[in-house]
A and B are shown apart, each in its own frame.
Chain A
Amino acid sequence: MIKAILIFNNHGKPRLSKFYEHYSEDTEQQIIRETFHLVSKRDENVCNFLEGGMLIGGSDNKLIYRHYATLYFVFCVDSSESELGILDLIQVFVETLDKCFENVCELDLIFHVDKAGIAGAPARAVSAVKNMNLPEMPRNINIGDISIKVPNLPSFK
């Protein structure tokens, strides 16, 4: 199961965060900071998995991340998820964002947090591709837009 989805920029500023377990606001920010410190230290050409340790809920969890331009997309998942699957999922998520905004960039996320299914996008990507155990988030777009299709299923690695 996915425990949290975090998006922050190269300086650790959170751009989008969704926790599927409840933490106080302070703890959430703390987690984001720690995650940023873990992730930002890593080179570009190393593997995308991190043993999360005590960050969220113990040793069963892993951080799986990708780095696109100025943004880090970090998924915290437990052992029931396929690591490579989640990597593909992040790719799909970003592709979806790209579709929504046409060449997505950090500013889009900053200014349209509520808009065009940013919040819904992860879930949408998820439900379109995988229908995993992830609650979908409501989105601020017209009903007509709701069924944006994920372009093409990602090629599996």
Chain B
Amino acid sequence: MALKIVKGSIDRMFDKNLQDLVRGIRNHKEDEAKYISTCIDEIKQELKQDNIAVKANAVCKLTYLQMLGYDVSWAAFNIVEVMSSSKFTYKRIGYLAASQCFHESTDVIMLTTNQIRKDLSSPNQYDTGVALTGLSCFVTPDLARDLANDIMTLMSHTKPYIRKKAVLIMYKVFLKYPESLRPAFPRLKEKLEDPDPGVQSAAVNVICELARRNPKNYLSLAPLFFKLMTSSTNNWVLIKIIKLFGALTPLEPRLGKKLIEPLTNLIHSTSAMSLLYECVNTVIAVLISLSSGMPNHSASIQLCVQKLRILIEDSDQNLKYLGLLAMSKILKTHPKSVQSHKDLILQCLDDKDESIRLRALDLLYGMVSKKNLMEIVKKLMLHVDKAEGTTYRDELLTKIIDICSQSNYQYITNFEWYISILVELTRLEGTRHGHLIASQMLDVAIRVKAIRAFAVAQMATLLDNAHLLTGNTQRNGICEVLYAAAWICGEFSEHLENPMQTLEAMLRPKVATLPGHIQAVYVQNAAKLFATVLRSQEGNTEGTAAQETSQLMIDRLPLFVQSANLEVQERASCILQLVKYIQKLQQKDVEVAEEVNALFAGELNPVAPKAQKKVPVPEGLDLDAWINEPPSESESEDEKPKAIFAKEEPKHSRPRHTEVDEKELARRREARKQEQANNPFYIKASPSSQKVYQDAPGVEHIPVVQIDLSVPLKVPGLPMSDQYVKLEEERRQKERAEKKKKEKKKRKEKRSGRGKKHDSGPESEEDITPAHMVDIVTEEMPENALPSDDDDKDPNDPHKALDIDLDKPLADSEKLPVRSHRPTEAPKSPAEDGDTESAAPQEPKKKSSKEKKEKKKDKEKDRKKSKEEKKKKKHKHEEGEDLLGGQPDEPAVQSEETNEVAAPPTSTSAEVSDLDFWLSNAPVPSNSQEAATVAAAAAPVPQEASGTAPDSEPDEPKDTETEETKSSKHKKKKQKKEKEEKEKKKKKKHHHHHHHSDGGGDESVQNGTVEEEEEPLPPMSNYCLLAENSYIKMVCDIQGNLQDGSQVVVSVIFENKCDSFLKSMEFNVLDSLNSKLQRPEGAGPHDGLTVPFQLPPGVSNEARFVFTVQSIVMPQKLKGTLTFIVKNEDSSTHEKLDFKLHFTCTSYLITTPCYSDAFAKLLESGDLKCSSVRLEGVNMPFHHLLARICFHHHFSVVERIDSCASMYSRSIQGHHVCLLVKTADQTVSIDAKCDEPSLLGNVLDEIKQTFSQC
């Protein structure tokens, strides 16, 4: 055995390791493939050995080869072997390989389930970590289903390292197994407030990613995110949250209103470009969502545009690019504010970076108006000339066409100008977009009737100069234009000045070098032209000219008859025969022109591209019904073809299927006809279907207006669009002058005091009338076309499955599947219960609660026992809620016992109203947060019918006594329990009251309708005055930093109270031993911090300063100074203002939600010190009192019963602070526990002070 091991290790010495492989590959540059194939053979040998080290080495090499593009899927099983090695070094190699090459269709994956589960629950956090990371790359729906519960458990692992990964991988699990989203969501939400910043930001990332696809389901999280946004200093997290808000605002405009202010502050204060950029982006999204009815946000738009301008002007190409990108978003709703930066954007067109030029082009698209279209296109044309590289030039070309044709040629006032632009564009060499220009020409010529004469003239010129375009036909896409030109000249030949000349141009021998489809159009339209020419010639001369024309056709057409292109050949020979026949008639002096023209009579109208799709399905037509019954299964294979052919024309079937009996066929046909006649679904041939378009109205009645052409129709050579620009200017000038005249007249007549607004201001959009009235013929749609409802959603998008309402209560059928055998005994907090599970049969809830009630009635002696049982049961229920698929009679929400657990995901209506509340009136986030917590904690409405008598008040102390005498050993612990019991009892009592008194009076405080039933909370603000003088007022709010246990963030609002400009503000604080102002690196310990903004008169703005604090148990005061310069028009003076920053102990507390059972556990743990305080003469409703404590002292309500509430908070350094607040007759007693007595004492003092002030 030992020998074998030694031998194995010696073998390994000669094995190639990864380095050798890499070196080998580098040394065999010429025959790399050959070398690798020998290596793969070696690896195969190595994989056959028993030694796991050798296998791991081989797998390691395979991983590298996979990265070079070699298929290694054959080694999948060996990878699984290495994965299951107990040694971490090998396991890691295995998982790495798996993450590189496993995917959903790898079949060995199903073998890994148990191995992965084992690794996930390994005591070694790195085993777990490696399994999580690996799993994230190859998770399949099966794995997701089987492991979802294990991963969910890991989300509350003690190590942040694991929690973080577990949270992230949940995203992949959701994608593969959408059913897991709802059960897991409450915990995911919990992780948003995880003490570890890494876990927190992982949760933010996952939720953002989920919310991006289905934002509406996550609206209820907005308050939470808002809080994070205002408290977090981690830019990465901020960026994510801000991006998320960008996705949420379109759904909830009120959210946008709330966001504007903090975002604007961030924009002002941040120095990070990435954050600034995202803020601007979200502000834009907000503005878009608010665009209706919120006129007073022009300041925000201006701010955004101004910041973006800074980005665009930056020398960094990346910023420039992003600036343009964001600008294009503003453009959609606020084009005016962007248009003022036209200069800048046009400048970007000259940039050397193509991406930037393309972005700038995108912007131009939205910036055009009737007024500036010509000017912009003129600039673009210049760029077309200058542009190097065909791709960019093509892009320019398409953009020009896009810009001009957008929204049905809305901005074009002069179509002559547009046609000439198109013609100019044909001079581009080597463009691929000939067809685009061609289709534009066709579109304009067909739809803008007034322009046809001009268009035809231009097209004739083009045809004449075709040789310019076809210089090198084959690789030149521009010859497509000739297709349009030929068609237009042919179709509208009545507008041609000199049709004969054009006809000749179309029949030039060189035409034969054009692509086939163009030639075909040439031939066909030559025929049309021929008809027109005939008509004019027959009227004038005595027929020789006409005969000459026919002769010309007969001479030239044979060239096309020889064409290799079928279409051309067919048309040419057809037309050739026709012309020969015409010639014969002409020789007999017959007038043929009318008849020839009749060949091409009728108008062609454009048809909308969607028309076909929009044809409504006629009533009674079932498209899914079989036209012929499918062949029955019993029919043999070789009979099938008969059935198929029988459907076709008998002409086909007869010669082919001679073997089929003729009579039989006839019989079948007869039968089928019979069937069709009787079948209402069979479409019978309708002779009228074609005529619909011809009869369609819309051509005749369109008034065609005479054009007064200011440019001679015949432009020598190719036209210059510039002329139009000048002409247009003149025309507008004239128009304006006329208008002014009219206006003056009017004013004289009226003599009323109307403003001079039309006098000198720039002409507005409406003032510009098109050069000549044009009718744009709309595209035809079938009659009674259905209104469009285009469903663009990709049915294969995995995120579609995740469109799940997260606020609905969890149904019991939705639990994650769990495998286990042992029933649980120990009570668990919901944060931990995931890892245990009970297979014990679940009692129906109703029954159990009744049981409980009954037990309650029992004698004092049995009380404790029954209570314990109850407690057990309660926890069973909780687990059942989270995990098990039991089937209780009542929905979970209505069970009182479970409300603490069920609250977050269940209280739909409460949460919705929370959100509304938060959005509508909550002035400061923490306040609303509190309200939300109160409501969430107390939300579910107890509905169970209780037949028990109310427990009487005096029972309770007695109860405590018994309790205490009974257990001497765990006295303290019991006490805690007792307290909890008491609370519960009270609650129960309350429920009872609630039931019997029909919610009358102030008893009905407890449930989710708090806000509606009670008087509204008075407005509160945490901002307290810091210092004030005649120039400036400073108010501040001090908050602990969630991210860092030693930091406190001070938000100071500076308000300029004077009429002067305040600038160069410097904020400085004298550091103490305990607290230090965080200064940028390199700054001295006594340097002040520059406030990152200036204040115009009357403006206020907020800045944040971060302090590092060592000990948080004592409050302290810091002296500080603000220096600033007051700038008047003529002078500027230095001023300073002293202040004292008061860090109360409260400011080190952070509102942290806590479940009641976790709370109970905490109290039981026994390491908390107790203290209490009494407040006399507090004259306010209890909920106001609670709200005050929550708001001013950063507590959250854990549970509330009548006039008693438990509250929780945590300090930035992790001290737990628990309160039990009771009130009776204006006296409030607060019992408090904390693991740090001095902190507790100070906090209580501060609470006392708060209430003494009011």
Contacts and interface: CB of A to CB of B under 8 A. Distances in A.
Interface of A: 1, 14, 16-18, 20, 22, 24-26, 28-29, 43, 45-51, 80, 82-85, 87-88, 110-114, 119, 123, 127, 129-140, 143, 146, 156-157
Given A82-B274, A140-B93, A156-B271, A25 B64 contact: no
Contact of A46 (B93, B169, B198, B352): B352
Contact of A135 (B69, B103, B133): B133
A1 B171 CA distance: 11
A133 B384 CA distance: 43
Interface in B62-85: 63-64, 66-71
A107 B136 CA distance: 30
A41 B353 CA distance: 12
Contact of A82 (B92, B164, B202, B239): B239
20 contacts: A14-B68, A25-B69, A29-B69, A45-B317, A47-B317, A49-B322, A82-B277, A84-B273, A110-B26, A114-B60, A114-B63, A114-B64, A114-B93, A119-B96, A123-B133, A135-B99, A136-B132, A138-B96, A143-B126, A156-B272
Given A47-B356, A49-B321, 11 more contacts: A80-B209, A82-B274, A83-B274, A84-B273, A113-B18, A130-B201, A135-B132, A135-B133, A135-B168, A137-B133, A138-B133
Nearest to B272: A156
State the 7 A-B residue pairs at the shortest beta-carbon distance, nearest first.
Answer: A135-B136, A156-B272, A84-B274, A22-B103, A47-B317, A46-B353, A29-B69
Contact of A139 (B92, B321, B352): B92
A17 B67 CA distance: 6
Contacts of B60: 114, 140
B322 A84 contact: yes
Interface string B257-281: 0000000000000011111011000
A49 B352 contact: no
Interface in B90-111: 92-93, 95-96, 99-100, 103-104
Given A136-B129, A140-B93, A82 B243 contact: yes
Interface centre among A17, A51, A133, A134 (most CB of B within 10 A): A133
A49 B88 CA distance: 39
B318 interface: yes
Contacts of A136: 129, 132-133, 165
A141 to B, nearest CB: 9
A42 to B, nearest CB: 8
A45 B318 CA distance: 10
A59 B1103 CA distance: 39
B789 to A, nearest CB: 23
A25 B171 CA distance: 25
A14 B66 CA distance: 11
B278 A82 contact: yes
B120 to A, nearest CB: 14
Interface string B955-977: 00000000000000000000000
B67 A113 contact: yes
A47 B355 contact: yes
A131 B198 contact: yes
A130 B198 CA distance: 8
A28 B65 CA distance: 13
A146 B129 CA distance: 11
Contacts of B22: 110-111, 113
A157 B273 contact: yes
B274 A138 contact: no
Contacts of B99: 135, 137-138
Contacts of A111: 19, 22-23
A60 to B, nearest CB: 10
A85 B206 contact: no
A49 B318 contact: yes
A51 B359 CA distance: 11
A57 to B, nearest CB: 11
Contacts of B317: 45-48
Interface residues of B, number: 71
Given A43-B352, A47-B353, A80-B212, A157 B316 contact: yes
B278 A47 contact: no
Interface of chain B: mostly helix, strand, loop or mixed: helix
Nearest to B358: A51
A88 B274 contact: yes
A113 B60 CA distance: 10
Contact of B236 (A26, A85, A138): A85
Contacts of B198: 127, 131
B205 interface: yes
Nearest to B106: A22
B601 to A, nearest CB: 47
B353 A131 contact: no
B92 A25 contact: no
Contacts of A29: 69
A51 B354 CA distance: 12
Given A80-B209, A140-B92, A46 B355 contact: yes
B26 A83 contact: no
Contacts of B316: 157
A25 B71 contact: yes
A45 B317 CA distance: 7
Contacts of B69: 14, 25-26, 28-29
B236 A131 contact: yes
A137 to B, nearest CB: 6
Nearest to B281: A82
B202 A131 contact: yes
Contacts of B271: 156
Nearest to B138: A22
A51 B358 CA distance: 11
B104 A22 contact: yes
A47 B202 contact: no
B767 to A, nearest CB: 39
Nearest to B355: A47
A45 B355 CA distance: 12
Interface in B124-138: 126, 129-130, 132-134, 136-137
B134 A138 contact: yes
A43 B96 CA distance: 35
Contacts of B26: 110
Contacts of A46: 317, 352-356
B352 A156 contact: no
A49 to B, nearest CB: 6
Contacts of B92: 138-140
Interface in B234-270: 235-236, 239-240, 243
Contacts of B96: 114, 119, 137-138, 140
Nearest to B314: A157
A156 B23 CA distance: 39
B243 A156 contact: no
A43 to B, nearest CB: 7
Interface string B38-52: 000000000000000
Contacts of A87: 318
Interface in B306-332: 316-322
Interface string B351-380: 011111000000000000000000000000
A1 B356 CA distance: 24
A123 B164 CA distance: 13
Nearest to B359: A47
A137 B133 CA distance: 6
Nearest to A58: B794
B612 interface: no
Interface centre among B63, B132, B133 (most CB of A within 10 A): B133
B318 A84 contact: yes
A113 B64 contact: yes
A28 B172 CA distance: 21
A140 B57 CA distance: 12
B551 to A, nearest CB: 56
A85 B239 contact: yes
Interface centre among A45, A111, A119, A136 (most CB of B within 10 A): A136
Nearest to B139: A135
B1249 interface: no
A83 B92 CA distance: 32
